[in-house]
Amino acid sequence: MTWNWQKPDWPNFQWERSRLAHAEEQFLLGAGVALGTVKHLNGAARDQLIVEAISGEALTTSEIEGEILNRASVQSSIQRQLGLAFDPRRVTPAEQGIAEMMVDLYRTFPAPLSGRMLFSWHCRMTLGRQDLADIGRYRASREPMQVVSGKMGDPRIHFEAPPSKQVPAEMKRFIAWFNRTGPRGADPLPAITRAGMAHLYFESIHPFEDGNGRIGRAIAEKAIAQSFGQPILIALATTILAHQKSYYDALENANKQNEITAWLTWFAAIALEAQRRTLAQVEFLIAKTKLLDRLRGQINNRQEKALLRMLKEGTDGFKGGLSAGNYSTITGASPATTTRDLADLTEKGALIRTGERKHARYALDLSMPE
């Protein structure tokens, strides 16, 4: 097998620009809508959006690699770093490290990419690791860097990266390309094209002993943020996780050639979906703020506690709908009090009821009346 970096035209990627034109236009329009919508958030809601966006990407980019982290711990670390709250809870090195990396990505998005930045991200992302020889520097092993699956003795090689001795030169060329193709660079590229190409280019080099996927997705996020001059992250890793198998399939196919139209069209669809997810999150926060403002002073502590618990589930909603039993468990209310509280919340337009008696379920009513 000859890999893309072994081809004579590496790394002069080719693609059909016309195939990306509509997606780039839709992405640009969507960015305008999202930025306009964010302006309607008050300070607290905007801070919440930032924390949820960063933590969501931190959690899902780790989950793609099979690492499951605690949401509350990651959010606590992010809030401390942003100076939004102090939570004394202890977090694991992995949770602290990925949170630090993603906050740095958020804060330094306009800055040019550099080897020092990538080494810093790698140090943070591998915080607490004792099993790696090369932390905060490019890999140096003489063993081939391969992506492999299958049984011992019968492996399937999905990709093999350039030898370690070539990595410094390859990364110097990659970093120069990334900065040159930015909005203020000599050869600017459209947002989706640059982000998708940057991710593939970086993954093809696979410069680190471990963590290449997480850093590669962060580079794509940086490219998108730079294109619009805004630090807010779109739900890129979250969307990739939802399409994980096709993500690996698309990368594997793209690693075999330097004509990358198929990869970029796949990535464009993911980027547009990620943008829609992010806009839905912003709209949810606006609706949540309006609902709580409208009900302020009209509901009791039990009702407020139950609503906040439901709102904590975000845009996906309370799984299966809220039942009377759920309400009682959350609030400690008696059956009679639960019935009254739920009826009152329904009458006030906070909840929508479906079903009857023991089959009754309640969902948030986040419609925004004038």
- CATH for 154: 1.10.3290.10
14 beta partners: 259
Neighbours of 106 (CB within 10 A): 21
- Asked whether residue 90 falls in the same domain as residue 200, the answer is yes
Same domain, 279 and 302: no
| Residue 88 pLDDT > 80 | no
Do 279 and 303 belong together in one domain?
no
pLDDT digits (tens, 9 = 90+) for 285-317: 888 888 999 999 999 999 999 999 999 887 777
Q: Are residues 163 and 304 in the same domain?
A: no
Are residue 70 and residue 101 in the same domain, yes or no?
yes
Cα–Cα dist 157/176, whole Å: 30
Q: Are 276 and 311 part of one and the same domain?
A: no
Q: Is 261's pLDDT higher than 90? A: yes
Supply the pTM of this predicted model. Answer: 0.89
Cα(313)–Cα(283) distance, integer angstroms? 14
- Angle (CA) 229-183-194 rounded to 5° is 100
What is the C-alpha separation between 161 and 44, in angstroms, rounded? 45
Confidence of residue 369 (pLDDT cuts 50, 70, 90): low
Report the distance separating Cα 142 and Cα 164, nearest Å. Answer: 7
Q: Does some domain include residue 342?
A: yes
Percentage of residues in the chain with pLDDT exceeding 70? Answer: 99
Q: How do residues 161-204 score in pLDDT, each as one tens digit? A: 999 999 999 999 999 999 999 999 999 999 999 999 999 999 99
> In this structure, is residue 289 part of a structural domain?
no
pLDDT (0 to 100) of residue 230: 84
- For residues 274 and 141, membership in a common domain is answered with yes
Give the separation between CA 264 and CA 239, rounded to whole angstroms: 15
Q: Inform me whether the pLDDT recorded for 231 exceeds 90.
A: no
**Pair 100, 223 in one domain:** yes
Distance from C-alpha of 126 to C-alpha of 139, rounded to nearest angstrom? 14
User: How many structural domains are present in the chain?
Assistant: 2
Residue 244: inside a domain, yes or no? Answer: yes
Residues 204 and 255 in one domain: yes
Residue 143: Cβ within 10 Å count: 8
Same domain for 73 and 208, yes or no, is: yes
| Omega within 30 of 0 (cis) for the link into 11 | yes
Whether residue 225 is found in the same domain as residue 350: no
The candidate with the shortest Cα–Cα distance to 342, out of 320, 312, 328, 319, is: 328
Whether 91 maps to a domain, the answer reads yes
Closest of 203, 238, 233 to residue 221, by C-alpha: 233
Rounded to 10 degrees, the C-alpha dihedral 131/133/136/140 comes to: -140
pLDDT at 281 over 90: no
Domain endpoint, select from 284, 307, 325: 284
Mean pLDDT over each residue of the chain, to the nearest integer: 93
State how far the Cα of 216 lies from the Cα of 239, in Å rounded to an integer.
Answer: 15
Does 243 lie in the same domain as 312? no
Full residue range of the structural domain in which residue 356 is found: 298-364
